[in-house]
Amino acid sequence: MTIFNADEIRVALETAFPVPMDEYEDAFYCQLMAGSLNDLAKVYKRRFNETVDEIKAGGLLSEDFVLVLEESQKKEVDIPALRSGLPDLFAEVVHIPAPDAVKLLSNRFIYEAVKTQIGDRIKRYEAVNVDDLEARLPVAERPEYITMKTTPKGYIVKRVIRRRG
């Protein structure tokens, strides 16, 4: 199987579709080419996802490839634990994310104004910035209030490297 890199694909495209010399024509060419490549990328992404689904559904294995589920990690604050465990620190770092504040009352109000208006319902919207909490909390206490959340990003295909021996 031949693997092409972006430069090789660009050269092939520019051989098939020569680059205009006029700046306006070139800008128009680039605009059209970018749109076409974006559409083509969607086709390949859809085909990739369909093929991965077939591999998973059929339990297909390969000696040359392996299907790997990538994950991303993001720190999250355990709001109820921090609120009850360190109420003074919680009061220092708690806030309402702007989109939630807008949903509730508009941009005119800050945390205390929202709290005054909606009382205990604010708990559903309370948030603490991980960096703000880490700056104020000793490292040893962080695991009690900050957890690592792992979420799937999607599948990738990796080539298996075989050792000759």
Q: Please give the backbone phi and psi of residue 107, each rounded to the nearest 5 degrees, phi first.
A: -75, -5
Give residue limits of the domains in the chain: 6-60, 76-146
- CB contact at 8 A, 65 and 161: no
pLDDT (0 to 100) of residue 156: 77
pLDDT (0 to 100) of residue 49: 96
- What is the DSSP-derived secondary structure letter of residue 155? E
Taking residue 28's Cβ as centre, other Cβ atoms within 10 Å add up to: 12
- Which pLDDT tens digit goes with each residue over 16-74? 999 999 999 999 999 999 999 999 999 999 999 999 999 999 999 999 999 999 999 99
CA atoms of 126 and 149, how far apart (whole Å): 18
Cα dihedral 41, 42, 47, 51 in deg (nearest 10): 90
Predicted model pTM: 0.57
